[in-house]
Amino acid sequence: MNHNPLNKQGKSVKQRVFSGIQPTGNIHIGNYLAAIRRWADLQSDYENIFCVVDLHAITIPQDPQTLKVKNREVAALLFAAGIDPKLSSVFIQSHISAHSELAWILNCFIPIGWLRRMTQFKEKSKKQDEVITMGLFDYPALMAADILLYATDLVPVGDDQKQHVELTRDVAQRFNSMYGETFKLPESITPDIGGRIMGLSDPSKKMSKSDTKSENSIFLLDSPDVIRSKVMRATTDSMREIRFDKNRPSINNLLTIYELFSRKGRVEIEAQFEGKGYAYFKNALADEIVENLRPLQVRYYQLMDDFSYIDGLLKDGSLKVEPIAVKTLDEVKEKIGLG
């Protein structure tokens, strides 16, 4: 996939990709397949900015010590998964204050009704037993700031973030119509397959980072034994055939995970498992996941031996991108008469 336009000299101008990930809970294979691995796969075709969004993380209560460490761990996972600091800038959201500043300004242009419609807010606020904060409600405004600060063309995300990118476009359009062309309108890019990886024990719920104790999610740092045991215990149905079928959510989800990790086609996969039982298929699936995650895990533990190296990469990332953010913010402030 390459959407890059040509400049006046006929040379391809790289479009800019921006995406983010929260340093909360444990990163799982849904995050990996729909987001992180795609960021790595796309990175040579685009100019890339990836952000560990700790300001989003604090929209629900976080332990301060854990959050600080998590920021580095998630950054290390991105690098371990193949994000190349030569091709992509990675930084921590709270290190560039323009994000909070633009989020506040955008707040003043987002009608409350738009935020009330956000499905993620409705779901998260139902789960939240503590006080629901303005931050949680306002989450999409900060996400819009993240994206708009960098004149982003493309936002690769899983299906659950599409609505937030739509809101980003809406607020950008609203601002542009009031003050003239200021923000570039971003487009989300979601995977054709696996944009919403479902849970293993409950395929009606999406796989989630906060499912720390359950068997529902496979985390990127799960050991081979844990992965095997989660896969073997995954819910299946009473039918025998191993076939892609949207009406059979459990097997369909497991086959989708197999398809993405093996990078094989559906016809080949169905032929491979024809006449075989669930145990045979699950063993093959566990092998595929374990083998795919092995190099990532090795690289992750090497990186985590040297926190200062990761901090250095994150610093380089923010130094590189901050001028872009500041330029956008200055233009916005000028247009609305601040300062």
Per-residue binding letters, 17-36, with ligand TYM (x by CB under 6 A): -xxxxx-------xx--xx-
Q: Which two tokens stand for residue 113?
A: 């009704």
Q: Hey, which residues between 160 and 179 contact ligand TYM (CB under 6 A)?
A: 160-161
Q: Which is nearer to ligand TYM, 24 or 262 (CB)?
A: 24
Distance CA 146, CA 152 (A): 9
Residue count at the site for ligand TYM (CB under 6 A)?
Answer: 24
Smallest gap from residue 271 Cβ to ligand TYM (A): 27
> Taking Cα atoms as reference points, which of 15, 54, 92 lies closest to residue 317?
92
Decide if residue 155 touches ligand TYM (CB under 6 A).
yes
Residue from 78, 143, 257, 321 that binds ligand TYM (CB under 6 A)?
143
At 91 the three-state DSSP class reads strand
Of all helices (H) and strands (E), which one includes residue 258? helix 249-262
Angle CA(74)–CA(308)–CA(35) in degrees, nearest 5? 20
Q: Hey, which residues between 34 and 63 contact ligand TYM (CB under 6 A)?
A: 34-35, 53, 56
With CB atoms as reference, the residue minimizing the distance to ligand TYM is: 158
Q: Which two tokens stand for residue 264?
A: 């094989």
Stretch that binds ligand TYM, among 9-17, 155-163, 218-226, 324-332 (CB under 6 A): 155-163
Distance CA 147, CA 166 (A): 11
Distance CA 164, CA 186 (A): 11
Among the listed residues 14, 68, 124, 276, the single catalytic one is: 124
Smallest gap from residue 70 Cβ to ligand TYM (A): 11
Decide if residue 256 touches ligand TYM (CB under 6 A).
no
Beta strands 187-189 and 47-52, pairing class? unpaired
At 155 the three-state DSSP class reads strand
Stretch that binds ligand TYM, among 14-22, 130-138, 239-247, 264-272 (CB under 6 A): 14-22
Q: Which is nearer to ligand TYM, 136 or 276 (CB)?
A: 136
Stretch that binds ligand TYM, among 191-199, 270-278, 308-316, 318-326 (CB under 6 A): 191-199
* Residue 318 buriedness (CB in 10 A; 0-12 / 13-18 / 19+): middle
Smallest gap from residue 46 Cβ to ligand TYM (A): 14
The question of whether 230 is a catalytic residue gets the answer: no
Q: How many helices (H) and strands (E) does the chain have?
A: 14, 5
At 6 the three-state DSSP class reads strand
Distance CA 339, CA 330 (A): 10
> Taking Cα atoms as reference points, which of 80, 255, 59, 235 lies closest to residue 140?
59
Residue 225 CB coordination number (10 Å): 10
Q: What is the DSSP letter of 215?
A: S
Decide if residue 89 touches ligand TYM (CB under 6 A).
no
Among the listed residues 209, 276, 320, 327, the single catalytic one is: 209
Smallest gap from residue 324 Cβ to ligand TYM (A): 15
The question of whether 124 is a catalytic residue gets the answer: yes
Smallest gap from residue 155 Cβ to ligand TYM (A): 5
Q: Which is nearer to ligand TYM, 12 or 173 (CB)?
A: 173
The question of whether 162 is a catalytic residue gets the answer: no
Distance CA 286, CA 215 (A): 14
Residues that bind ligand TYM (CB under 6 A): 18-22, 30-31, 34-35, 53, 56, 143, 146-147, 155, 157-158, 160-161, 195-197, 206-207
Enzyme catalytic residues: 124, 206, 209
